[in-house]
Structure 1
């Protein structure tokens, strides 16, 4: 996951479109022959980035009280739907919309960037409207506009995964948030050993309910317990993908590559799931969760409420209670969210792209979608953008190259299932 955890920005951050002074000093735009002529466009880019950081969709759509709500739900013998509490918005939606449409995007002369900025402005506007609509039925429509629906092929792939992969016993070995934070800091240090300027940003927070990356910061929920066998895959997912692409984007003149080009979330999550697979960490439990998320979104779109979704996951698909709870609240939060369907859809599209010969290096330049590859490649060719600064460790884990080559030969998401695991 990606988003922003703090709405406060320093003067230095505002100058660089939301980048910290540390990241500003790392940016180098002086040697790019195409950058100077794009200076007006890069000013728009910086303002769009600052506004999205202020809006902070992910954190503002994440429950504050998930741990307490789970305890209440468990005490009710799973009979009473939870009440999820969201944080008050700390920005004025009207002012944010005004700032957006005060930007003179029409004056951007580069046709590709003009189209890109208009699409990004539209995406941020939809984020603002969705946040205003939290806890109403309108929130769902905003979520659909941002993330898309569950098309029949995706629903069929999810159903096939749940049918193919036998139910797994819950894992009995877990680690605390503190222990996971220690492992995360060690992972950051592995990157720093190769890239000394790679910043270490790990926070254990009591005001979030999900593990997430927030503009280069790894945020860990204080009350969370993590499966011991999931630590390494999660680190490759969160640090090796979301943090690495953020840091690569921070080295680019186009600041939007830190927060993400329009619609990048699907590709980001697909790439992160790929990282789990290449490192041998995409186990049957995880695949069943990704499939169950799609099923839960589909049931919500059909009108099911929290209790119906929760019970269906448990009885129809034998998802453990705590996992079914987590899946269900992520789907009903705010009035209905379809975001969780992007994980399976994202890896499906990544698999298709690999089979078609797409290279991964372009996707590592920053946070972008598969659809942006031609645009980004053009900017690379014109030397407006630079090659990625950091190479993710998951590309060099033993066995990763062989797995990647197998995927390039053609694979479906069901082919990612490699057998059961012990409890």
Structure 2
């Protein structure tokens, strides 16, 4: 009898090609400033009066060739209806990524960003404003750890996974050309100049390793390699899941919630025409966001010409909360990187044995108290319900 995977061999060739093309784009790194540390020093010297000049790395791919490779794929020959729809949507998303990278540092960039990540709907804007009003401003945290100390903590977290899943890789890189912690193609990238709040270390490990790395590794064990780089629109669900991981482990503190809300507010201001300095000052004066945090939020919003990506954290956790209240199981979301809306499709592929059950179970589901918190969310909760009271300074 022919295996389900063998029957889909032509489709899997296209899946592999789409994955290879997107890997070549490296969207995440290519919209990350390479000079954030120097830019902050200059900004501080200017007494916060001169907007920073953010430099992006040169593109290492040829956009026209990437487009040609993309549209040479004969997706019309894929007979499985679910995969045909999926591949067409993914091709469209990759084409938009190519355009947005070409449009960096132009007035067109923001429109490409909106096409990839969506705008700020009124309910999301209102939720963000409410969080900032409800949660008292917090004093900046004084205790922080260095990149080296965080890398050691990350290694220990990888070791916990490796104790259960011996083949679980542990790719950690400390780099001087990034300013934010990130996972890129399964690698945990730590900025060399990082000063990470000590009380954020564990939640960040559950966010970055327990969600982004775990779903990458689960995707890597699927015949469908797109599950490593993400099905169309996966980012929002991935970040929502990662924020859920922080909450279930007791790490979604008031400071973090205020940052997620402030990102949405800052994007709204950028879309209304505000520049870096106006956004930065508004975050500090109106919303009492600490200076260095306000800088980081504003940089992430204006980079490239205006990025709306950071709205996906608050929108993502909102969508996850809705799914939980509707009785959805999270299990399918661990198969790889996908969106909530694709759960029925993935479940169908699991039922047909095209996909395998997830290899790794995130540790954050099993920390003490996590299941009780998850049960409370299933009973119905909004993002403002995630605020559980003040934090000690």
Per the normalisation by structure 1, the TM-score is 0.92
Structure 1: how far apart are the matches of 2:3 and 2:217? 22
| 2:342 is the counterpart of 1:372 | yes
Structure 2: how far apart are the matches of 1:208 and 1:100? 29
Write out per-residue CA displacement over residues 171-212 of structure 1, whole angstroms, 9 at most, x where no aligned residue. 000000000000001100000000000001100001111100
Cα RMSD over matched residues? Answer: 0.8
2:162 aligns with 192
Structure 1: how far apart are the matches of 2:277 and 2:177? 25
Does the 8 Å CA contact 1:260/1:368 hold for their aligned counterparts? yes
2:61 aligns with 91
1:179-328 to structure 2, matched below 5 A, reads 179-328=149-298
Structure 2: how far apart are the matches of 1:89 and 1:214? 16
Structure 1: how far apart are the matches of 2:270 and 2:145? 32
The one of 392, 395, 408 equivalent to 2:362 is 392
2:328 aligns with 358
2:74 aligns with 104
The total of aligned residue pairs comes to 393
- Structure 1 residue 422: deviation in Å? 1.4
Does the 8 Å CA contact 1:32/1:384 hold for their aligned counterparts? no
1:18 aligns with none
| 2:3 is the counterpart of 1:33 | yes
1:22 aligns with none
Structure 2: how far apart are the matches of 1:32 and 1:264? 31
Structure 1: how far apart are the matches of 2:272 and 2:170? 43
The SS at the match of 2:173 is strand
The SS at the match of 1:203 is strand
Structure 2: how far apart are the matches of 1:116 and 1:283? 37
- Structure 1 residue 32: deviation in Å? 8.8
Does the 8 Å CA contact 1:248/1:388 hold for their aligned counterparts? yes
Structure 2: how far apart are the matches of 1:32 and 1:276? 43
- Structure 1 residue 34: deviation in Å? 1.2
1:134 aligns with 104
The one of 337, 343, 354 equivalent to 2:313 is 343
1:414 aligns with 384
Write out per-residue CA displacement over residues 349-378 of structure 1, whole angstroms, 9 at most, x where no aligned residue. 000000000101100000000010010000
In structure 2, runs of 5+ residues without a counterpart are none
Structure 2: how far apart are the matches of 1:32 and 1:67? 56
1:61 aligns with 31
2:353 aligns with 383
Write out per-residue CA displacement over residues 79-119 of structure 1, whole angstroms, 9 at most, x where no aligned residue. 00000000000110000000000000010000110010000
Does the 8 Å CA contact 1:270/1:350 hold for their aligned counterparts? yes
Cα distance, 1:224–1:32 mapped onto 2, change above 3 Å: farther
1:10 aligns with none
- Structure 1 residue 398: deviation in Å? 0.1
Structure 1: how far apart are the matches of 2:179 and 2:284? 21
Structure 1 runs of 4+ with >2 Å offset: none
- Structure 1 residue 33: deviation in Å? 2.8
Write out per-residue CA displacement over residues 330-356 of structure 1, whole angstroms, 9 at most, x where no aligned residue. 000000000000000000000000000
In structure 1, runs of 5+ residues without a counterpart are 1-30
Write out per-residue CA displacement over residues 124-149 of structure 1, whole angstroms, 9 at most, x where no aligned residue. 00000000000001000000000000
Structure 2: how far apart are the matches of 1:67 and 1:422? 29
1:118 aligns with 88
Write out per-residue CA displacement over residues 47-94 of structure 1, whole angstroms, 9 at most, x where no aligned residue. 000000001111000000001000100110000000000000011000
Write out per-residue CA displacement over residues 353-409 of structure 1, whole angstroms, 9 at most, x where no aligned residue. 000001011000000000100100000000000110000000000000000000000
Does the 8 Å CA contact 1:241/1:272 hold for their aligned counterparts? yes
